[in-house]
Structure 1
Amino acid sequence: MDKAMQTNFNNLESEDKNLQYEAFMNILDATKEEVEWAYEVWDELLAGLTSSNNHKRSRYAQFLSNLAISDPEKRMLTDFPAVWEVTKDKRTVTARHSLQAIWRIALAGEEQKDLVINQLVDRFETCESEKNCKLVRFDIIQDLRNLYDEMTEEKIKEIALGLIEKEEDPKYQKKYAKVWKNAPKK
């Protein structure tokens, strides 16, 4: 890892919130592409998923989701449950930020894609008892749209539209459907 990236990770612990945010954004931006240093931080990020600091939990889940494309050892297949757990965090904003990033894991390969899609579908179908079920469902539909935009696989669109049909409240069904309005055809 180069000095600039190491500085970004160090700045996540800064007292200066602006410096923290800048470092966070720099790391997110860098990890949208493959990086060679993923395993230099992987274990620390994984351990941070259970930190008492909700900002750390959220950030680390997002970083690991992005780093899945830089994971030739496929560690994510075993570490996924720890990342997924943060999507159910007691702090709504932490849970949502993690859930909104989880789709990126699917970009790492077929196994990862199947794992993520299966978890998203299961969560959509079983989240009714959760405090923010409608937000969770919205984020899942958005995740599937993001994945579709990246991969343009018609199966992803079919899965999302099938989930939208399962929503019984017409107001939310319409809201979820808007996410898929203007979806490009393959």
Structure 2
Amino acid sequence: MDSTIKKLFENLIDDDKDVQYEAFMNLLDITNEKVNWAYEVWDQLLKDLTEGDNHQRSRAAQFLCNLAKSDPEKRILRDFSTVWAVTKDKKFVTARHSLKSIWKIAIAGSQQKKLVLNNLTDRFITGTDEKNYTLIRFDIIESLKKLYDEIKDEQVKELALDLIEKEEDTKYKRKYASVWK
């Protein structure tokens, strides 16, 4: 990892919120592509998922989702449950940011895709007792659309459309379907 990347990670804990935000956005942009330093930060990010404040948890989850494509050892398969737990964080905004990034793990390979799709499907179907579940469902459908746009897998599209059909409320069914128009 070069000094620029190290500095960006250091800036995530800077006192200046603008410096933190700029570092965060730069790191998200950088990790949208494969990087060769994922394992240099992996363990710390895992630690931040459970020990950090809500900002650290959110950032760590988003970074790990992005870094899944830079994970030839497939550590994300072992660590997925810890990342997934942040999608149910006590701070809804943290949970939502994490959930909206989870689809990126699916582009890392077939095992990762299966894991993500199974978890998103289960959450859509069984999550109706969660607070703000219609928003969570929308995020799931939107995530499936982003995944489809990235990998053009008809299975993903069919899954999303099947989930939309399971929605009984016409208002929300239309809202979810609008993502796919």
TM-score normalised to the size of structure 2? 0.99
One-letter amino acid of the counterpart of residue 153, structure 1 = D
Aligned to 1:158: 158
Q: Distance in 2 between matches of 1:132 and 1:46?
A: 27
Percent identical across equivalent pairs? 64
Aligned to 1:184: none
- Output one character per residue of 1:84-131: Cα deviation in whole Å (capped at 9) or x when no partner: 000000111000000000000001000000000010000000001100
Structure 1 residues 4-83: aligned runs within 5 Å: 4-83=4-83
One-letter amino acid of the counterpart of residue 174, structure 1 = R
Structure 1 residues 105-144: aligned runs within 5 Å: 105-144=105-144
Q: Distance in 1 between matches of 2:31 and 2:22?
A: 14
- Output one character per residue of 1:14-53: Cα deviation in whole Å (capped at 9) or x when no partner: 0000000000001100100000000000000001001241
One-letter amino acid of the counterpart of residue 64, structure 1 = L
- Output one character per residue of 1:51-83: Cα deviation in whole Å (capped at 9) or x when no partner: 241000000000000000000000000100000
Runs of 4+ in structure 1 deviating by more than 4 angstroms, as ranges, are: none
CA gap 1:75/1:52 in 2 versus in 1, 3 angstroms: closer
CA gap 1:95/1:71 in 2 versus in 1, 3 angstroms: same
Q: Distance in 2 between matches of 1:52 and 1:41?
A: 15
One-letter amino acid of the counterpart of residue 84, structure 1 = W
One-letter amino acid of the counterpart of residue 100, structure 1 = K
One-letter amino acid of the counterpart of residue 166, structure 2 = K
Q: Secondary structure at the match of 2:51?
A: coil
Q: Secondary structure at the match of 1:57?
A: helix
Q: Secondary structure at the match of 2:100?
A: helix
Larger mean Cα displacement after TM superposition, 46-55 or 118-127 = 46-55
Q: Secondary structure at the match of 1:32?
A: coil
One-letter amino acid of the counterpart of residue 129, structure 1 = D
Q: Distance in 2 between matches of 1:52 and 1:40?
A: 18
Q: Distance in 2 between matches of 1:140 and 1:93?
A: 15
Q: Quote how far apart the aligned CAs of 1:132 are.
A: 1.1
Runs of at least 5 residues in structure 2 that lack an aligned partner in the other structure: none
Q: Quote how far apart the aligned CAs of 1:158 are.
A: 0.4
Q: Distance in 1 between matches of 2:169 and 2:7?
A: 48
Larger mean Cα displacement after TM superposition, 44-53 or 72-81 = 44-53
Aligned to 2:99: 99
